[in-house]
């Protein structure tokens, strides 16, 4: 199992083991643990750390325990997530829990059906522990969540609560969503693995749209095995774990463009140290040539996301404009309303061409190394951090994983991001094992 090296959140409840989902399912299968006991364990952690972390907008403790007892008593075939407590971001619909989308407009509102991702994870035996805090409509205005490593620092956004809940040991797996950097960045800040799949791999039905051209359901966990469990539950039983490749089998690109100068010295050192370690282990490491995929990429991303987001929230703009935050109304929404359809189409064409160029570039490399964020989590809770290093891979629809392999001098996690070619998720996750093992040696 590829566990996070030397990562134990300082707010974790030391008397309760922070089991991974894989450990939970294996222990239940072996008759050494029940689903009820697994839920009781995480609820003890929640009671200890939630008052300082504020990861949950709604906690369904009684329902989770009842579901766990039903699983313990059932004779049905167990799913791949049998007995695993789960968290779901507050922009992902649940039929039995409120979904407020991070906005006061929908406080206490409960959808009539589960999102596809929630239902699939329940079918696989997962237990919904509750809904995790999201920024307002998965945009920039933050919720109350604090970073479990240091509550004076942001957990990132927009999947703030999901990252913090996993990082603090309150749940082994949580779903988030990424439209720019909303899975990878908070996962990096909170010291957990974050996985943003290839665009459209995971069904987004029942997830409130932000920018449909980019919106992707992602997973936070504490080991690669758990990411694979979630992927299998969310896709199908044909999903298998590939063996970790030997380092000498890998061709690895270092991606220092186009925003390398925005990375802190610690983050730059992390990327280069990872490259050196992998090269010493036998990998072929070289500067990544993106074949022109990054040309005009940022402006195209902004044009598409602004145009779509402003229209996604047409209902709220019409009926609850005054309840939208100024940063949402006056920023991305206002920009999107100024954009013209012709500009939007031009940006979409730019992105389509860029994706083809990147496909070509990845023909010569297995994955790339790049920062997951400019650095560690910034101080304060008003700013959730920059998505500069996530935007390219979200815009270009490629899978990405952040690996918590180092802490900075202040003890805050630093995330190393790896990204691969579209639809090469299985290969990327297997390579994540090799990177983690190499960085631990």
Query: 349 to each of 126, 181, 314, 322, how far by Cα in Å?
Result: 40, 22, 25, 35
Q: Which of 227, 216, 255, 214 is nearest to 404 (CA)?
A: 227
Same topology between domain 21-234 and domain 247-294+350-440: yes
Question: What is the fold of 247-294+350-440?
Answer: Amidase signature (AS) enzymes (3.90.1300)
∠ at Cα 389 (313, 373), nearest 5°?
100
| Domain with residues 21-234, CATH architecture | Alpha-Beta Complex (3.90)
Q: What is the pLDDT of residue 11?
A: 60
Domain ranges of the chain: 21-234, 247-294+350-440, 303-349
Q: What are phi and psi of 381, to 5 degrees?
A: -110, 0
Beta-carbon contacts of 372 under 8 Å, excluding residues fewer than 6 positions away, are 184, 185, 187, 188, 194, 389, 390, 402, 414, 415, 416, 417
Look at phi and psi of residue 391 and say left if phi exceeds 0, alpha if psi is from -120 to 50, else beta: alpha
Write out the chain's pLDDT in tens, 441 residues. Answer: 333 444 456 665 445 668 999 999 999 999 999 999 999 999 999 999 999 999 999 999 999 999 999 999 997 778 999 999 999 999 999 999 999 999 999 999 999 999 999 999 999 999 999 999 999 999 999 999 999 999 999 999 999 999 999 999 999 999 999 999 999 999 999 999 999 999 999 999 999 999 999 999 999 999 999 999 999 999 999 998 899 999 999 999 999 978 999 999 999 999 999 999 999 999 999 999 999 999 999 999 999 999 999 999 999 999 999 999 999 999 999 999 999 999 999 999 999 999 999 999 999 999 999 999 999 999 999 999 999 999 999 999 999 999 999 999 999 999 999 999 999 999 999 999 999 999 987
Query: 318 to each of 55, 111, 122, 441, how far by Cα in Å?
Result: 30, 21, 35, 56
Where in 38-172 does DSSP place strands (E)? Answer: 56-59, 85-89, 127-132
Q: What is the pLDDT of residue 8?
A: 53
Furthest-apart CA atoms within the chain: distance in Å: 61
Beta-carbon contacts of 148 under 8 Å, excluding residues fewer than 6 positions away, are 9, 10, 11, 12, 49, 53, 55, 155, 164, 167, 168, 190, 191
């Amino acid at each position: 199992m590829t566990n996070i090296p030397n990562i134990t959140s300082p707010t974790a409840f030391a008397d309760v083991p922070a089991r991974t989902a894989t450990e939970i399912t294996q222990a239940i299968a072996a008759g050494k643990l029940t689903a009820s006991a697994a839920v009781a364990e995480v609820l003890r952690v929640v009671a200890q750390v939630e008052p300082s972390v504020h990861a949950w907008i709604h906690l369904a403790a009684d329902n989770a325990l009842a579901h766990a007892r039903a699983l313990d008593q059932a004779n049905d075939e167990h799913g791949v997530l049998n007995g695993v407590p789960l968290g779901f971001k507050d922009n992902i619909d649940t039929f039995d829990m409120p979904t407020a989308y991070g906005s006061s407009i929908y406080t206490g509102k409960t959808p009539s059906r589960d999102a596809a991702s929630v239902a699939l994870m329940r079918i696989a035996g997962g237990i919904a522990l509750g809904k995790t805090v999201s920024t307002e409509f998965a945009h920039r205005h933050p919720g109350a969540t604090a970073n479990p490593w240091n509550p004076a620092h942001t957990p990132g956004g927009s999947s703030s609560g999901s990252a913090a809940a996993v990082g603090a040991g309150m749940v082994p797996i949580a779903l988030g969503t990424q439209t720019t950097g909303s899975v990878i960045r908070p996962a990096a800040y909170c010291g957990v693995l974050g996985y943003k799949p290839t665009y459209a791999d995971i069904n987004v039905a029942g997830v409130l749209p932000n920018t449909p051209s980019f919106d992707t359901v992602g997973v936070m966990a504490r080991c690669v095995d758990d990411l694979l469990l979630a992927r299998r539950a969310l896709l199908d039983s044909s999903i298998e774990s590939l063996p970790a490749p030997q380092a000498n089998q890998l061709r690895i690109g270092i991606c220092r463009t186009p925003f390398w100068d925005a990375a802190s010295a610690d983050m730059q050192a992390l990327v280069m140290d990872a490259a050196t370690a992998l090269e010493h282990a036998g990998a072929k490491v070289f500067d990544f040539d993106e074949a022109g995929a990054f040309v005009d990429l940022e402006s195209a991303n902004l044009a598409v996301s602004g145009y779509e987001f402003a229209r996604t929230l047409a209902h709220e703009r019409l009926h609850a404009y005054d309840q939208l935050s100024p940063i949402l109304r006056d920023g991305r929404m206002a920009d999107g309303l100024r954009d013209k359809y012709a500009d939007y189409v031009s940006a979409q064409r730019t992105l389509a061409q860029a994706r083809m160029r990147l496909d070509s570039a990845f023909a010569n490399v297995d994955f790339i190394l790049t920062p997951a964020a400019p650095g560690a989590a910034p101080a304060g809770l008003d700013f959730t951090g920059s998505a500069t290093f996530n935007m390219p891979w979200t815009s270009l629809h490629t899978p990405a994983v952040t690996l918590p392999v180092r802490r900075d001098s202040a003890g805050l996690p630093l995330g190393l991001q790896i990204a691969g070619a579209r639809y090469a998720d299985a290969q990327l996750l297997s390579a994540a094992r090799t990177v983690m093992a190499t960085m631990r040696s």
